[in-house]
Structure formats: C-alpha cells, structure tokens
Chains A and B, each alone.
Chain A
Amino acid sequence: MNIALLTHEFALAGIALLIFILDLSGAGKKVTGRVFTFSMLALLVYVALSRKDGVILNGAYTADGISWFAKLIFLSGAFLTGMLSTDTLKLSDKRAGAYYFLLASSVLGMMFLASSKELITLYVSLELATISLYALAAIYREEVLSLEAGIKYLILGAVSSGILLYGLSLVYGVTGTTYLEKILFYTSANGFQPVFVLAVIMVILGIGFKLSMVPMHVWTPDVYQGSPTPVTAFISVASKAAGFIFAVRLLSYTLIKAGFVWEPILAVLAFLTMTIGNLIAIPQKNMKRLLAYSTISQAGFLLVGFIGAPVIGVSSVMFYLMAYTVTNIAAFGVVAVFEKSTGSNEIDDYAGLAQTQPVLALTLMVALLSLAGIPPLVGFAGKFYLFYAAMEKGYLWLVIAGALNSTISLYYYLLILKRLYIWDKSKTSTLPKVHVPAMVTAALIICCVAMLAMGILPGFVIDITNAAAEGMFRP
C-alpha cells in the first residue's frame, strides 16, 4: 500500500495539530491566524505542485484529477477565509485556537471526501467537514443570531444526513457493496432496479442540503446571516464544493446508469433553485441574506451544468466551483470588513461607500458583476460553460431558464451597486467609514486578479478540469 498518497492529508492534520499546540501554549489570535493562513497557502502550493495518482485501501481511497482539483478548491477557500478571518473576527484569544482548528478539520474532511470512492468513507468525510462547520457557525457564543445559526444548521444538517444515509444504505442493500467501482460494475451487469429510484431521490435530497438546493435551501439565509462572515464565506464556497464533489462521485460517475432518474429530477430542481433564489433575493434588505439567496441561485446554475453531458458537465461544474470560490469570497470579504467597521449588514447602510472607499466599492462591483455573468470576468466564462454543457445534452428549456435567470440576477446586483454609488444627502449624514486591514486587501486583490485572469484566459483551467473529468470516466 502506497501510504505516500496520503501526504497531503497528513500535512493538513499536522497543521491542525500545530494550531492546537499553539493554542495550548497561549499564542494570541493574530499569531494563530497567520500561522493557519500561511500554512494553508503553503499546502495549496504544495498540493498544486505535487499531484499524485493512485488507488489504495482496495479502492476506497483514490487520488486522481478530480480529487486533486477539488483539493485545490478547498485549500484556496480555506486560505482566503484565513486571510479574511485574521483581522475581522471579534474573537477572544482563548477561542481563536478552536476557530482555526475547526476550520482545518473541516478542510481535512473535505480533502478525504474528494478522494473517497467508498460509501462509508464518503459519508464519514462529509460529516467531519460539516460537523466542524456547525461549531464554527455558533462560535460567537454570546450572540443569539450566531447561536441560532449553529443550532439550526446542526438540526437540519442532521435531518439531511439521516436522509442521505438512508439513501446510501438502500444502495448498499441492493448491490451488497459500498465500493463505488463495484456498485458501478453491479449496475452495469444487472441493469436498473426500481428500488434505486428511492435511493437516488434520497441521495439527491440529502446532498442537496450541502448545495442549498430547493427544497433543502431553507437553512441557508438564517445560517449565513447568523454565522461570522468569514465562516459564511467558507460555508458558501467550500461546503458547497464538497457537496458537488460528492454528487459528482456518486451520481455522475457511479449511478450514471440511473441518469434517467436523477437527470429530470435535478433539471426541475435546478430550475426551481435558480428561480426561487433569484426571486427572493430581490426584496432583501440585509446584505448577508441577499448573498445567501444569491448563492442558492448560483447552486441552481451549477446544477444546470451538472446534468449536462458526462465529461463536459463534470468539467464545467469543477471550473465554476473554482470561479465561484474566488468570486464569492471577494463579495463576502467586502461584507466582512464593512461589518467589522460599521457593525451593520444592512444594504441601506452601504450608501455612499463609493465616496469613502472607492476601491472597496469597485471590488464589490467586480465580484457582483462576475456573479451576474458579465464578461470579461470569470462568472461569464463559467456560466457559459455550464449552459454549454447542458446544451450538449439537449436541455434547451433549462438553458433558456438559466440565461433568463442570470438576467434577473443582474437586477438585484445592480440594486446593491446603485446603493454604493448614490445616496440621499439629506437623510444620510455620515458616510460609512471602513478600515480595510492589509490581509483583507491582499485577499481581495488575489480574488480580483483571479476573476479577471480566469475570465480572460479560461482555457488554462478548463484544460485541467477537462482532463480531470476525462480521467474519471476513462475505464
């Protein structure tokens, strides 16, 4: 057994331990935060440079293109979240250690998940990733909203895990195995069994919780609003990415023969997710709630690509997840510093930000236009790719709905931008004064550069995701 395949995970576990030790030795939150952030960066670079392929543990653990790229997404998310956290969190030194440790353990769960090709491993990794997030959501123990967010996230997460586990056990019951390769072999040999229908529905809904897919989206606004903003950013990108990787492994790959069941279900749910997310976003007054509904609709767009033709669908989802990570973290980064300086998340309080902080306002504008899919930002390339994938499969109606929804989404993003740029001078006596810490500035610059670079030259990343997707489907 080639244990060296697990080097990346071992390294991350080591980082988690290091944070633990730092915490015990009484290092302050600044030190812990910087150690976490820079070790995430180091690990990101290390993973990027040292791709290893192979299979161990009888096929339960696989390192391939998909897992490698997924780990890059998770680590980018963790690194950028670390940069946002260091100077914007209002945590005591005592609790900072727990915060970064939980972040690290969540990423560890996601990294295992990306490589798992066995039902129990997949499930346990997903739980490790998510349970850490429950605690992170409630880390502002003194605040009712944060506490409520944690509790809601926990209870509803447990419900969805139950559904997911039920679905997985049905799969096991039929096929008699938990290894994905063997399940694939079974479905190829024995054809489709009716009980799979129920299993697939339960898996979809169970995993739909992580994707904030309608009807499993109900927790999203509350949890996003209540959680500390960097945690919200992390949940919105990394947790969603983890859910999609799970779905890619289980549905796109293993249960590809059951595609005629999950494709139409997901098509309808993709439509509902985009539309409902967009419609409710329009009247929102709170920035974090609005972005919550916006991420719901983004999940809908991702689902459009997900049901596309196998290779190109997986590739488009992977590409969009990376694009979405840098874009959404930029948006939440602005929200985090604004909240830190003004104590408010109300969109009305953003009035006149362009006057006091023109560059910060510009950053938010770039991020929101990217989310709306305006070229040359990466959101356009990503959405085009998703729609293209669905078109290849012939889902014209869904592509039309998607294009229409991205037009609607532009509307509420522009509403925010209008707020930034004009304000009623008679009503607003003081303009928001926002201090942007150096670390956040760096994070925002990285995100903006990535949005532009990946938007103008998407080929570099798409070649990688395409090769990864082809690699997965190659027998």
Chain B
Amino acid sequence: MEQLNVLGLAIPALPLLAFLLITAITAKKKMLSAVLSISCIFASFLISVYLLILQLKAGHGASYEFSFPWLFLGDVKMSLGILINPLTTVMLIVVTTVSMLVQIYSIGYMKGDYAFSRFFSYISLFSFSMLGIVVANNLIQMYIFWELVGLCSYLLIGFWWFKPEAAEASKKAFIVTRFGDFGFLVGILILSYITGTFNFAEIQAQINAGLISPGLLTVIALLLFSGAVGKSAQFPLHVWLPDAMEGPTPVSALIHAATMVAAGVFMVARLFGIFSASPHAMLVIAYLGGFTAIFAATIALTQNDIKRVLAFSTLSQLGYMMLAMGIGGYTSGMFHLTTHAFFKALLFLGAGSVIHAVHTNDIQLMGGLHKKMPITSITFLIASLSIAGIFPLSGFWSKDEILVNIMESGHMGLYYVAAATAFLTAFYMFRLYLMTFTGKPRDAHAYEHAHESPLTMTVPLMILAVLSIVTGFAGIPGKEQSFYNFLFFGAHPHETHFNMGVALSSSAIAVSGIALALLMYAFGLIKPEAVKNASGPLYKLSYNKYYIDEIYMFFIKNGFFVIASAVKWFDRHVVDGAVNLVAFLCRWAGSKLRLTVNGGVQSYALIIFGGLVFIAAVFAVWNPDALKLLGGR
C-alpha cells in the first residue's frame, strides 16, 4: 500500500515537475522542454495503466485512499489526499493519454512559435491541475485544482495574447466559469458546515445515514452542479466555449474538448452519491443536459468555422453526458466521456492539421483536401463516423447505452431529444467532413499550398483513430469483462443488455443524417442555398447562436453597467468634482499662501455623520431583536 501512496502522488507530481523544470531551467532549449514535458506525462500514463491493471485484478469496487493533514480550521481538519478507485483510474487513463498525444502533436503544430517552451510548461501545469482534480479525495482539494485548471485555461486561451480576440476570449472564459464556481464554493461551504468534513467518503456516509434533509440536499446539489455547468459549458453558461477556440488548436483538443470541459461530468460522477440522493437535482441535470445537447447541435448545423462547429459539437456531447448522469446512467455517462475524449480530440487535432495546411478556419474556403492530406482525411472520417454513432465504432456503443438508459428511465421526451440530437450530429459532422475534404477546392490558392502534416502530427492522429475504433469494444453490453462491470455506482453493476430496437433505430437515424449530408454536400441533389432560404429566420437564429451573446451583452450593458455607471457618476461628479475644485482653488489661492478647504471635505464629513445618524436612528426605531434576523444563529 505504501507503493500506492507514492504512485498516486507521482501521477500529478510528474507534470508539475516538468512545469517547474521548464520554467526554471530549460526555457531556452525548445526541444528539451518538449521532450521533458512529454516524458513526464508518459511516465504518468504508464503509472495510470499500472493502477488500472491493479484495479482490474483487485476486482469490483476496489478503492484505495490516503490523506495527510493540510491545515486545521478550528475543529475541522482539512486534509489533502488521493483516492484511487475505478472512476479515478478511468479518468486518469483518459487524461494522460490525450495529454500525451496532444503534446506529441504540438511539437509539429507549435514548431517555430517563439514561445514554444512556454506552451509546454503551461500544458504541463494544466496536466498537473487536471490530474489533481481526478485523484482528489475531498472537496476542497477538488475545488483548488478546479480553479487551477480554470487559470491554465485562461493562460492557454490567451496564449497568443497579441490577438485581441484571444485576450477577450480568455477573459470571458475565466469570468463565465468563475460564475459557476461561485455556486460550487458556496455549496462546498454549506456542505462542510453541515457535515464538518470535506472528505467524499465521510460526506457519503452522512448522506447514507440520512443526516441531511432532502430539501437542503437538493439546494446543495444544485449549487455544486452550478460549478459543473460553468466548467462543462452547459446552457446558460455555455457562451465561453465557442470563443475559447481562439486558443491554439492542441489546447482546444486537450482542454476544451477532451479533459477540462469533461471535468463537470466527472464532478457529477464523483459526487454521484450527493446528486442521486436528490431526485429533483437529478431531474434538473437531465433536462439541462438534454436541452444543451439539442440546442448546441442546432447551432452547429450552420457554423462555417471548422473549430466552432466542433466546439458546438462538444457542447452538445457534454449535454449528452449530463443527460445520462441525470437519469442515473452513471456508467454510460462516463463511458461516453471516455469514447468522446478520444474521437473529439482526434477531430480537433485533425482540424488543426487542416488549419496548419490551409491557414484558415473557414470551411467555405476549403474542399477537396482529401487528395492533399489523406491521413488527416481518413482519421477525421473515422472520428466523424464514431461521433455519428456508426456500428462498430466506439461512439455507437456509448451513445446506444445512453439511449437504452434513457428509455429504461421512462423519460420518453428526453429519449426523442437525444435521438434528434443524434440525427443532427450525424448531419453536421458530415457537412463538415464533406465541405472540408471532398468536392472541388473553393480556394485554389490555399489548395495549392496545402500539404499533409509532418509525422509528429499524423502519428497521434492515427493512434487516436485506433482508439476511436477500439475503445467501444470495452463496453459491449452483456460481456463478462466490460466497462460496465468495472465502473459502476452502488453495490452492483447496472444490468446491461443489448437492445436491438434502440440499436437499429439509432443506426437508422445516424445513417439518414449522413445520407442527408451526402445529398446536400456531395451529390448536390438538394441545394444548401435553397434550404437556407426556405428555413429563413430559423437559419439566422442558428447562425447567430440564438443571439445569446447579444442578449447577455444587452443585460450586462443595461443592468450591471447602469448600476456601475450610476455609482461612477456619483464618484466622478461628486467626488472627483470636489477633488478638481480643491485643485483649482489651491492654484488660485496658492499665491496668497492660503489653503482653502472647500466643500469636498465638508461633503465627505456629511456622509460620515449622515451614516452615523442613520445607523443610530435605525437602531432607535428598530427593535434590536429584529436585527437578529439579519444575523445567523
């Protein structure tokens, strides 16, 4: 067990070491920094695999935990620690694999960037923080690393800070997710106040013992969930993710597709004991997830920026996972998280390869790239088939299990939403694929200069393509040794069985989505322009993302800023005015060596005395007992 302590700590510590070494020593030597960063994450990956093997051997529900005291707050001890259980190991594998492949890819993608070393140091810092969330055994540690990944995301979105859009997007991402985190923090504080602990297992024990009233538990669960809404970009806090695409593409693949944005889903899984104890909270999660899934999918239909299509696709898929969690599909949600991490990372890296070749994000300027970059094209196709849910790729298995879970839960409305989302997903992914890689080149100049990316970039694509195919086989329903018997919530694994009806109908949906895309973008039987004109305002709504950003800006300008401006007006005209008046009078009177004390000071004194009289008056009128209402216990 001693050995597990060291190994468990080493997984996050190795990338931290890489970050420190790169920052302190190797910043000037670009390749050395990259090699250092990749070797550290590779070591973390090997340890994660080892832990997975140990877990598989140990059998069902094996869990190992250890803590060391960090600080004492009064009577409450706060510990840091690690928790290794099936959920941890699955997530560890996902994070280390994607991080490693993305870093290898970045050697090619970031080649020639003046801040090459800084990029790798940030990625290492991010990997450290993300792995810190995964191994945490208590809420406070989770929250600290949760904020740290937010900080890394801020640094990495704004990595090319000389681009104004990037700087703006990084700020937006930080603020919007922080609004979700505010609820998360309040939830943690309430929970710790009630239970007197931050440890997951101890909190779980108190919930099992029924020590927390159901109403309070719902409030806590929803507050905690608001953190997940921000991080996993669920409606209405989704607005930051599309803008975050201003960051370098490997960052989008790692942080904004595979790992950090999935942290919200992981958090719901980690705290599933709290959420599942509150049916109301679960219902909110399910419906919010379902809504985000279809809402984002309809936006993805009309976007022309290759990365933005993928960003809205990520939103939609995260909604899918949340939906699965909300209806109690703990395992299927996590399974979809795993398969999605691989194929979505592949899609982003493929998009990066394309952008690298043609130097534009606009798919209207692409076309016919299959001939020029066959590896990118084929791997991208595999990922598109996978996300569309085509048998026997990984997306098929995970999506199908979610659909079966929804059907079993009896929420048929959500089932239709999920099915419709699957159709839209198949359509927009093939619209994207066909417009990018097939047909005639629409920009001859870009096409001329396009070329396949170097091996450092294409090898990770090929590995991810293999993973996008085979990961699904781990979760074939009914198998003895499957994902479902390894990772589950509660005492017994959820019974899985292959539902032929669901499988056939979802396959039919996916195929018809692809067929429609083919008709429109490959054979030209249906003119996209005609569809656009026929749908009129609907197209505009989707293209403009339902004007959500504009609505927010309107409210921020007319709510927040009006208040701020009113207070500012007072500040400027009363306070600054007084300052200027004093300055003027000083100049005027300066020659006479006389200092005039003017109304500025007097009005300040008036505020002070006014405050005094007001508070005293409140007390005189108001019974002191009534004021207790403002206070606590």
Q: Which residues of A contact B (CB under 8 A)?
A: 144-145, 147-148, 151-152, 155-156, 159-160, 163, 197-198, 201-202, 205, 209, 214-216, 218-219, 221-222, 260-261, 263-265, 267-268, 276, 279-280, 282-283, 309, 311-312, 315, 354, 369, 374-376, 380, 384-385, 387-388, 391-396, 399-400, 403-404, 406-407, 410-411, 414-415, 417-418, 421-422, 458-459, 462-463, 466
Residue of A nearest to B629 (CB): A264
Whole-angstrom CA separation of A204 from B73 in the bound complex? 27
Would A407 and B179 count as touching, CB distance under 8 A? yes
Most A Cβ at <10 Å: residue of B74, B148, B151: B74
Residues of B within 8 A of A263 (CB): 631
Residues of A within 8 A of B416 (CB): none
Per-residue CB contact flags for chain B residues 590-631 toward chain A (1 = under 8 Å, else 0) read 000001010011001101111110011001000010011011
Residue B583 at the chain A interface, CB threshold 8 Å: yes
Counting residue pairs across A and B whose Cβ atoms lie within 8 Å, the total is: 180
Per-residue CB contact flags for chain B residues 160-187 toward chain A (1 = under 8 Å, else 0) read 0111100110010011001101100110
Residues of A within 8 A of B470 (CB): none
Residue B632 at the chain A interface, CB threshold 8 Å: yes
Residue B389 at the chain A interface, CB threshold 8 Å: no
Whole-angstrom CA separation of A407 from B175 in the bound complex? 7
Residue B62 at the chain A interface, CB threshold 8 Å: no
CB distance from A428 to the nearest CB of B (A): 13
Would A144 and B587 count as touching, CB distance under 8 A? yes
Whole-angstrom CA separation of A388 from B587 in the bound complex? 51
Would B72 and A159 count as touching, CB distance under 8 A? no
Residue B564 at the chain A interface, CB threshold 8 Å: yes
Would A394 and B632 count as touching, CB distance under 8 A? yes
Would A462 and B73 count as touching, CB distance under 8 A? yes
Residue of A nearest to B587 (CB): A144
Whole-angstrom CA separation of A391 from B143 in the bound complex? 17
CB distance from B624 to the nearest CB of A (A): 6
Per-residue CB contact flags for chain B residues 180-196 toward chain A (1 = under 8 Å, else 0) read 01100110011011000
Majority secondary structure of chain A interface residues (helix, strand, loop or mixed): helix
Residues of A within 8 A of B144 (CB): 375-376, 380
B71's contact among A216, A283, A459, by CB below 8 Å, is which?
A459
Would B582 and A148 count as touching, CB distance under 8 A? yes
CB distance from A421 to the nearest CB of B (A): 4
Would A407 and B182 count as touching, CB distance under 8 A? yes
Residue of A nearest to B609 (CB): A159
Would B575 and A221 count as touching, CB distance under 8 A? yes
Whole-angstrom CA separation of A417 from B616 in the bound complex? 42
Residue B371 at the chain A interface, CB threshold 8 Å: no
Whole-angstrom CA separation of A392 from B189 in the bound complex? 9
Residue of A nearest to B603 (CB): A218
B74's contact among A268, A392, A403, by CB below 8 Å, is which?
A392
Residues of A within 8 A of B147 (CB): 374-375, 380
Whole-angstrom CA separation of A131 from B56 in the bound complex? 71
Whole-angstrom CA separation of A415 from B610 in the bound complex? 34
Would A215 and B161 count as touching, CB distance under 8 A? no
B615's contact among A144, A265, A376, by CB below 8 Å, is which?
A265
Residue of B nearest to A355 (CB): B162
CB distance from B459 to the nearest CB of A (A): 34
Would B595 and A215 count as touching, CB distance under 8 A? no
Query: Can you identify 11 A-B contacts, CB atoms within 8 angstroms?
Result: A144-B587, A159-B605, A201-B616, A202-B612, A263-B631, A265-B627, A279-B564, A375-B144, A404-B182, A422-B164, A459-B72
Would A354 and B612 count as touching, CB distance under 8 A? no
CB distance from B617 to the nearest CB of A (A): 10
CB distance from A161 to the nearest CB of B (A): 11
Binds A, one of B36-44, B377-385, B390-398, B565-573: B565-573
| CB contact under 8 A between A279 and B583, given known A159-B605, A202-B612, A411-B175 | no
CB distance from B77 to the nearest CB of A (A): 10
Most A Cβ at <10 Å: residue of B161, B575, B632: B632
Residues of A within 8 A of B193 (CB): 391-392
Residue of B nearest to A461 (CB): B71
CB distance from A399 to the nearest CB of B (A): 6
Would B175 and A414 count as touching, CB distance under 8 A? yes
Residues of A within 8 A of B582 (CB): 144, 148
Most A Cβ at <10 Å: residue of B140, B193, B609: B193
Whole-angstrom CA separation of A374 from B129 in the bound complex? 13
Would B631 and A218 count as touching, CB distance under 8 A? no
Whole-angstrom CA separation of A151 from B630 in the bound complex? 38
Would A393 and B601 count as touching, CB distance under 8 A? no
In chain B, residues 541-600, which have Cβ atoms closer than 8 Å to a Cβ of chain A?
Answer: 563-565, 567-568, 571, 575, 579, 582-583, 586-587, 595, 597, 600
Would B171 and A283 count as touching, CB distance under 8 A? no
Whole-angstrom CA separation of A415 from B588 in the bound complex? 37
Residue B445 at the chain A interface, CB threshold 8 Å: no
Residue of B nearest to A281 (CB): B564
Given A218-B608, A391-B192, A414-B174, 19 additional A-B pairs, CB 8 A: A159-B609, A205-B615, A209-B608, A215-B608, A215-B611, A216-B608, A221-B571, A260-B628, A280-B567, A311-B74, A374-B147, A374-B150, A380-B144, A388-B192, A395-B632, A421-B158, A422-B167, A459-B70, A459-B71
Most A Cβ at <10 Å: residue of B140, B164, B178, B586: B178
Whole-angstrom CA separation of A211 from B161 in the bound complex? 37
Would B563 and A387 count as touching, CB distance under 8 A? no
B73's contact among A148, A388, A410, by CB below 8 Å, is which?
A388
Would B575 and A403 count as touching, CB distance under 8 A? no
Would A260 and B567 count as touching, CB distance under 8 A? no
| CB contact under 8 A between A155 and B627, given known A148-B586, A422-B164 | no
A218's contact among B163, B568, B575, by CB below 8 Å, is which?
B575
Residue B492 at the chain A interface, CB threshold 8 Å: no
Would A205 and B611 count as touching, CB distance under 8 A? yes
Whole-angstrom CA separation of A399 from B185 in the bound complex? 10
Residue B449 at the chain A interface, CB threshold 8 Å: no
Would A403 and B619 count as touching, CB distance under 8 A? no
Residues of B within 8 A of A463 (CB): 71-72
Would B72 and A145 count as touching, CB distance under 8 A? no
| CB contact under 8 A between A145 and B583, given known A264-B631, A376-B144 | yes
Whole-angstrom CA separation of A24 from B94 in the bound complex? 71
